[in-house]
Structures are given as structure tokens and as C-alpha cells.
Amino acid sequence: MRHLPGAAVPAAAEEPAGRGDASGKPAVERLVQASAGTFDVLSAHDPGAPALPSPPPRGASRAPPAATRVVRIPKQARARLTREKVLEAAVECFENTGYDETTTAMIASRAGIGVGTLYGYFRDKREILIEILDRTVAEVGRMVVERLDPEGFGSRDPRTVARELIDAVFHMHNHSPGLQRILWERYFKDETFRVFYDEIRARTRVAIEKFIDTVAAGGLLRDIDREQAPFVLLNAVQWNATQAFLRGNEEQIDATAHATADMVAAYLFR
């Protein structure tokens, strides 16, 4: 099975901290509930697919109340497999055709199912892309947080840990490059996508703060503004990695990753 890009700063089995609200719903469910869009519902032909609400009466608004916008996670194994096939097919379509040109009919055809079956799992292609982004954010967040956790790198030199993490972040962007570009494009066009990115940035900043505390405890930290340092480090690495990916080739990405690691080392360590 093709691995979906639950991949870019690298998902734990449990819901990561900060991903649920008071209701206990995960971020993707809350965001899909709040998202706008049409409510196109076709008959689901897969018996394992979740039940869908009836279409609104003629003349009524086709946008359902926000509370009804939920992510439908099937319980039967067959239905879960079909849902994964839809996500994998969507990644391929988005990669090869682009987001704007891709249709739900194209995704369904590549997944080997009917369009009606697809609508039993996702309302539209936007909801599919949101699901893919949610997986990406989860995997990226876990990778960064785990690598910056002092318990994770133990007695290893923090300078080596920082350099290896920066290199991993740069090269993670190479996974499904067409899809990565689409996700960044949607960031500037769709507020829902910005919420996901802001969430991972918040988690990463906390991890950086703890890493800096560890560096300071070991006597390796330069005299820097520790309140601003997480913001500076996060933006330097993220911006450089994104620009290198969008504008450069593999050789330039390698060189920029190395230069960024040198810059971080000179800023952070004695």
C-alpha cells in the first residue's frame, strides 16, 4: 500500500496534545464541521459506508448546519479499506493533475469505486485534502517533537541532534512534492489549512523551548533572548526549507540544509 503523506515536520496512535477541544473531537472533525462548501450527497453503494443524511428539500439551502459536518469513520474493515483507497487515489490525482483540475469522479475512478461510494466517505475533494493534511501535520509534529525531546536523544550531543533534525525537515518536503506544493497553495487560499499549520507550529515551538532548556542546562547555550529564540529558530528553518523545496533541486536543498544548520549552531550554541 502506498504510504500517504502523513509526512512533512514527522503519528502517534493517540491524539497528540492540543488536538482536541472540550468536546474531545479531533482537530480535523472540528475543522470540517466549521468548513464551508456545498453539500452534495449521492447514494452510497458500499454497504459498509457510513450512513448519510437526506438531501435538503427543494428550495432550502444546501449547506447543512455546522454541527452535522462530521468526519465519517467507518467501522467495518472493508469500509475502512475503501476509505484508504480513496485517500491514496486522491494523492495520486492531486500529484499528477493538480488540485483544481482534479474531480471527485477522477478520484473515484482511480480508486476503482463509483462516485456515489466516494461520497459515502467524503463530501468533496476539499474534505479529502483536509484529511490528507491532518495526517501530514500529525506525522510531522510527532517527528519534530520526538527528536527534540531530551528523553529521546539521551546523552547525544544536542548540536548533532539539531543538525540531523534540520536535515530531516528539509528532505521531508521531497515526499510527494506535487502534493506539498498544493498544501502550501491552499494555505494562502483557505483559512482551514492555516489552522492546521498554526497548530503544528505551536507544538513545535513548545518542543524548541524544551530543547533550549536542555541546551542551557548542559552549559552549551549562548547568551540569547530565550523568549524570542523559539520563534526565530522555527521561522528560519521552516522558511528556508520551504523556499529550498519550492525553488531548488536536490543539490540546492542539501546545501541550504547544511547552511541553515550552521546558522542555527552559530546562533544557539557556545
- Per-residue pLDDT reduced to its tens digit, 170-229: 887 666 667 777 887 888 888 888 888 888 888 899 999 999 999 999 999 999 999 999
- Among residues 254, 93, 120, 246, the alpha carbon closest in space to that of 181 is found at 246
pLDDT band at 112 (very low <50, low <70, confident <90, very high): very high
pLDDT at 199: 84
Q: Are 208 and 148 in contact (CB under 8 A)?
A: yes
Buried b / exposed e over 119-148, threshold 16 CB at 10 Å, is bbbbbbbbbbbbbbbbbbbbbbbbbbbebb
Q: How far is CA 255 from CA 143, 170, 175, 182, 238, in A?
A: 22, 10, 18, 24, 15
Q: Show the domains of the chain with their CATH numbers.
A: 38-123 (1.10.10.60), 137-268 (1.10.357.10)
Average pLDDT, whole number, for the chain?
76
pLDDT at 76: 82
What is the mean predicted confidence (pLDDT) over 103-111? 97
99 vs 62, residue with greater confidence: 99
- Among residues 242, 187, 183, 208, the alpha carbon closest in space to that of 6 is found at 183
pLDDT at 33: 43
The rounded distance, in Å, linking the Cα atoms of 68 and 74 is 16
DSSP 64: P
Q: What is the DSSP string of 216-232?
A: HHTT-B-S--TTTHHHH
> What is residue 81's three-state secondary structure?
helix
The rounded distance, in Å, linking the Cα atoms of 59 and 54 is 14
β-sheet bridge partners, residue 269 = 221
